[in-house]
A and B are shown apart, each in its own frame.
Chain A
Amino acid sequence: MATTPELLPYGRIREDLFRPLSGVSRNYVLATVVAFVIGAAGLVAWGHQLRSGMGVTGLRRPVFWGFYLVNFVFWIGISHAGTLISAILRLTDAAWRKPVTRAAEAITVFALMIGAMFPIIHLGRGWLFYWLFPYPNGRLLWPNFRSPLLWDVTAITTYLTGSVIYLYLPLIPDLAQLAEHRTLWRRTLYRTLSLGWTGSDREWHALERAMKLMAGMILAVAVSVHTVVAWDFAMTVAPMWHSTIFGPYFVTGAIFSGIAALIVVLAALRKILHLEFYLTRHHFNNLAKLLLLMSLLWFYFTMAENLTVWYGNDPGEMAVFAARTRARYAPYFWTMVLLNFVVPLVLLGIRRLRTIRTATIASACVLVGMWLERYLIIVPTLANPRLASASSTYTPSWVELAITAATFAAMVMLYMVFSKLFPIIAVWEFKPHPLEEE
């Protein structure tokens, strides 16, 4: 029977967790090339859009927000992976979180970086995005802090800063251990980044105190970030957007999709980096149970929102509701319910069916389902405005599809580079066996 990782000799742990950092396999190169090509296609598409104008997208009056905003909300939502696992489990001192925290924190940082690109990509005059920042200028210009988009800017800046720090802090001790690497540029990199960490008790105490504080703070920020993103919609008067439930709804959805992303990423890492000893059934079981819990919570919120709209029978809202549940968007809506609720309930609720493989399948379904959910929040409302003469439809163009694909490729690439440079599981969090031979 496999022993728990804590009982393996420390030398073995180090070897296992540092091994992925050296050498590139053929699959790695292949994956990098594919991701690069897709990413390049996205950049070409974006360049085309910047030169020719927003008309190259599928957007049209009144659907002024489409795939780009869907992706924005989706990626910011994914970024809540790290926060939940890392922060909440750190605060509650759950032991099983140890091999999972760094992978989760890395997802957060990269998802945020990708998500934060979309407010720039979706702009009609994207090269002027810096006008949203308050900087001293000689033209009497200033941003409007009453706008939820400015709240977005502040929230995402704060969250990104916090997440990078939160990823970096527990990385320092591992970096110090890597400082004797073979390659010169990596030695320099690790030594510089480890800031001369010696492992003294002063440093450990400061680190643990900082981590405790950061865990609480990052949790508070994460909740606010997705609430603010939700308020981009909820602060409008658009039918079915102007809903008080949006704040908590989006946060729940974010944590939901975040855990799903985490499970998918961990399953991939486990397979590719041969971390079967470290990412065990136990971890996936716990994450699967959390995913199931979030699925039920998500269903509760969706139910509450749709029921109140249907019962209230406001004509403006009912037009959108009908479009979502019965008309043009109905196939997406019911697919979303299937993927987000039915599949997790069956695969994860029935104990015998809950395995690492089914957890991964359920998570992949949830990721698709949650992407659809963002789409169903944004597009049907815009396509069915209050003055029905302006109703329309939306079909994305190749530009939007290319950019969407490129973001997934970018995520994969960022993650691959990260796992090559830094150990994806925090080595120092595994206490050595007291009677180890080496």
Chain B
Amino acid sequence: MERRWGMTIDLDRCTGCQACVVACHAENNLPVSGPVEAAKGRAVHWIRVDRYYEGTFPDVKVKYMPVMCQHCDDAPCEPVCPVYATYHNAEGLNVQVYNRCVGTFYCANNCPYTVRYFNWFEPEWPEPLQLQHNPDVAVRPGGVMEKCTFCIQRIKRTKQDAAQEGRPVVDGDVQPACVQSCPAEAMTFGDLNDPNSKVSRLAESGRATRLLEELGTKPKVIYLQRGK
């Protein structure tokens, strides 16, 4: 059976430290917007940590929620792209084809999670950050939409390595940058079609919720939280 990649994020463990955000930046060659553009709301964060406050000082409770592309099985962003720059691949990932994107912005408008980010200018990195690029990941040109890919380059690399070494891909072999870097081990990643994978077992848990589930997008990121 084909794999269906999915992720769980344990909100009861998440401390909001944003290590995942930094790791994603480093792994995926995210453009540096600079203070001026960031002030204009154009910073690119494939994974962002949303904060929800309950109560008033001094009895404030904060919920930290890392939000990235949910790789919805019924993704609303996919049918609206006029040039097939975003579609669902066989392993359940919502892939973004940078070369094909002409920049109609339709996918971003139709994403209810607002997880798509645009390259407003040609990307630049202040010296010497351009030396830190990940060679496995494309550098996107200006005018193109981008978003979390579930570190598809790591998925590919793991599958290639396993094939070369003649062994199967085991649960836990593939770790996107965010999952790998979380100090609280709040995130897991794996094959939802494998009933024995950690992700599948956690997805069955009583604490499993999905974001904006009522829209019928069938997101594949499961948030574990004790109460909503």
Also in contact, A64 and B83, with CB within 8 A (given A141-B100, A237-B215):
no
B110 at the interface (CB under 8 A from A): yes
Q: Is the CB of B82 within 8 A of A54?
A: no
Return chain A residues, CB-CB under 8 Å to B48: 389
Complex: how many Å from CA A146 to CA B84? 10
Return chain A residues, CB-CB under 8 Å to B83: 131-132, 141, 143-144
User: In this complex, which of A60, A128, A132, A144 has the most chain B Cβ atoms within 10 angstroms of its Cβ?
Assistant: A144
Q: Is the CB of B82 within 8 A of A143?
A: yes
Return chain A residues, CB-CB under 8 Å to B135: none
CB distance from A50 to the nearest CB of B (A): 9
Q: Is the CB of A53 within 8 A of B104?
A: no
Partner of B122, one of A53, A385, A392: A53
A-B pair count, CB < 8 Å, reads 135
Q: Is the CB of A54 within 8 A of B41?
A: no
Q: Is the CB of A236 within 8 A of B105?
A: no
A433 at the interface (CB under 8 A from B): no
Q: Is the CB of B42 within 8 A of A61?
A: yes
If over half of B's interface residues share one DSSP class (helix, strand or loop), that class is named, otherwise mixed; here it is loop
Q: Is the CB of B121 within 8 A of A52?
A: yes
Q: Is the CB of B80 within 8 A of A236?
A: yes
Return chain B residues, CB-CB under 8 Å to A236: 76, 80, 106, 109-110
Chain B, 73-114, CB within 8 A of any chain A CB = 76, 79-84, 100-106, 108-110, 112-114
Also in contact, A125 and B102, with CB within 8 A (given A132-B82, A144-B82):
yes
CB distance from A323 to the nearest CB of B (A): 16
Q: How many residues of A are counted as interface, with CB atoms below 8 angstroms from the partner's CB atoms?
A: 42
Also in contact, A144 and B79, with CB within 8 A (given A62-B108, A64-B105, A237-B112):
yes
Complex: how many Å from CA A124 to CA B142? 8
Output the nearest chain B residue to A130 by Cβ-Cβ distance.
B102
Complex: how many Å from CA A244 to CA B180? 45
Complex: how many Å from CA A93 to CA B110? 45
B51 at the interface (CB under 8 A from A): yes
Output the nearest chain A residue to B42 by Cβ-Cβ distance.
A60
A390 at the interface (CB under 8 A from B): yes
Q: Is the CB of A237 within 8 A of B110?
A: yes
CB distance from B47 to the nearest CB of A (A): 13
Q: Is the CB of B103 within 8 A of A123?
A: yes
Q: Is the CB of A123 within 8 A of B76?
A: no
Q: Is the CB of A124 within 8 A of B100?
A: no
If over half of A's interface residues share one DSSP class (helix, strand or loop), that class is named, otherwise mixed; here it is loop
B125 at the interface (CB under 8 A from A): no
CB distance from A154 to the nearest CB of B (A): 11
CB distance from A180 to the nearest CB of B (A): 49
B50 at the interface (CB under 8 A from A): yes
Complex: how many Å from CA A64 to CA B103? 10
Partner of A54, one of B67, B79, B114, B120: B120
Output the nearest chain A residue to B51 by Cβ-Cβ distance.
A389
Q: Is the CB of A124 within 8 A of B143?
A: yes
Also in contact, A55 and B102, with CB within 8 A (given A61-B42, A124-B145, A382-B109):
no
Q: Is the CB of A123 within 8 A of B106?
A: no
A148 at the interface (CB under 8 A from B): yes
B173 at the interface (CB under 8 A from A): no
Q: Is the CB of A387 within 8 A of B108?
A: no
- Binary CB contact string for chain A from 121 to 151 against chain B (1 if under 8 A, 0 otherwise): 0111110110110000000011110111110
CB distance from B103 to the nearest CB of A (A): 2
Return chain A residues, CB-CB under 8 Å to B119: 53, 124
Output the nearest chain B residue to A54 by Cβ-Cβ distance.
B120
Output the nearest chain A residue to B216 by Cβ-Cβ distance.
A237
Q: Is the CB of B84 within 8 A of A238?
A: no
Q: Is the CB of B144 within 8 A of A124?
A: yes
Return chain B residues, CB-CB under 8 Å to A128: 102
Partner of B114, one of A62, A143, A147: A62
Return chain A residues, CB-CB under 8 Å to B81: 144, 147
Output the nearest chain B residue to A395 by Cβ-Cβ distance.
B40
Also in contact, A123 and B79, with CB within 8 A (given A55-B42, A64-B108, A236-B110):
no
Complex: how many Å from CA A132 to CA B101? 11
Chain A, 379-394, CB within 8 A of any chain B CB = 382, 385-387, 389-390, 392
A189 at the interface (CB under 8 A from B): no
Return chain B residues, CB-CB under 8 Å to A131: 83, 100, 102
Return chain B residues, CB-CB under 8 Å to A59: 120
Output the nearest chain B residue to A148 by Cβ-Cβ distance.
B80
Complex: how many Å from CA A386 to CA B84? 25
Return chain A residues, CB-CB under 8 Å to B40: 60
Complex: how many Å from CA A64 to CA B48? 19
A235 at the interface (CB under 8 A from B): yes
Complex: how many Å from CA A124 to CA B85? 13
Return chain B residues, CB-CB under 8 Å to A387: 50, 67, 112-114, 211-212
CB distance from A229 to the nearest CB of B (A): 13
Q: Is the CB of B106 within 8 A of A149?
A: yes
Q: Is the CB of B121 within 8 A of A53?
A: yes
Output the nearest chain A residue to B44 by Cβ-Cβ distance.
A61
Q: A147-B80, A387-B113 are in contact. List 17 more A-B contacts (CB 8 A).
A: A55-B120, A61-B42, A64-B118, A123-B143, A124-B103, A124-B104, A125-B141, A125-B144, A131-B102, A144-B81, A144-B84, A150-B82, A236-B109, A238-B109, A385-B112, A387-B114, A390-B114
Question: Nearest 9 CB-CB pairs, A to B?
Answer: A124-B103, A55-B120, A124-B143, A64-B105, A390-B114, A125-B143, A147-B82, A53-B121, A60-B41
Q: Which residues of B contact A (CB under 8 A)?
A: 37, 40-42, 48, 50-51, 67, 76, 79-84, 100-106, 108-110, 112-114, 116-122, 141-145, 211-212, 215, 217
Q: Which residues of A contact B (CB under 8 A)?
A: 52-55, 59-62, 64-65, 119, 122-126, 128-129, 131-132, 141-144, 146-150, 153, 232, 235-238, 382, 385-387, 389-390, 392
